[in-house]
Amino acid sequence: MTARFGALAGLVVLAWAACASAPAASAQDFWNFSGMKFPARDSWCSKQTNQGTAAEPTLALEARHCGTDFPYMSIGSVNAGGQLPGVSELIANGTEYGSTPDAHKTVLDIIAAKYKGCSEASYVVKKDAMTGVPGFAIEADFKCSDISTPVLFRNWTTYAATKSGKVWIVAFDYPTDPITGGDIAMIQSAIQTISSAP
């Protein structure tokens, strides 16, 4: 997998990786992360966690409504060797990669890590799925043998760059509820914070 597409696969894993086992989040006025101050959302809590592996750690900021697993925003830097394309190209590449067999398998593997006997029932990649924010979404449903209701996967992803060109991934997981205006405002604020950083 190339670096430009590996960022998407890494983010999809980030988005579901550590919900139950990570330390509890706490409410703050600002979410401080990697030298940036993200405006906090009322009744939402944040925490910093390593969502990568021991060999390839990925520090991320996670934010979710206090006391719940979803919906869930995560912010992490793109760890890729060499020169990265611009944000628009990363979004286009991610949208394209989201439809590949590798992406289908990555999402199925995430679901299969939590449930048994799973098969994909539907899978759609949507470009510009969030009003007013460039990005893409993967929306998939799975049938699993150990649960009677469908397992839903809903992940929206975009990229943002600091003034110096460091690229960050901003993702939002919403498997049970539709995206709200408050969700969009929080994500726009996160993107603006990254874009304004040195």
CATH of the domain at 123: 3.40.1000
CA 54 to chain centre: 20
pLDDT, average across residues 59-72? 93
Whether 25 shows a pLDDT value over 60: the answer reads: no
| 26, part of any domain | no
Whether 17 shows a pLDDT value over 60: the answer reads: no
Percent share of the chain, pLDDT over 90: 68
Q: What's the number of domains the chain is made of? A: 1
| 64, part of any domain | yes
Tokens of 91: 């979004």
Percent share of the chain, pLDDT over 70: 83
**pLDDT, the chain, mean:** 85
pLDDT at 85: 84
Question: pLDDT class for 11, splitting at 50, 70, 90?
Answer: very low
pLDDT at 16: 42
| 125, part of any domain | yes
Domain with 150, as residue range(s), is 3-19+31-196
pLDDT at 6: 40
pTM (whole model) above 0.85: no
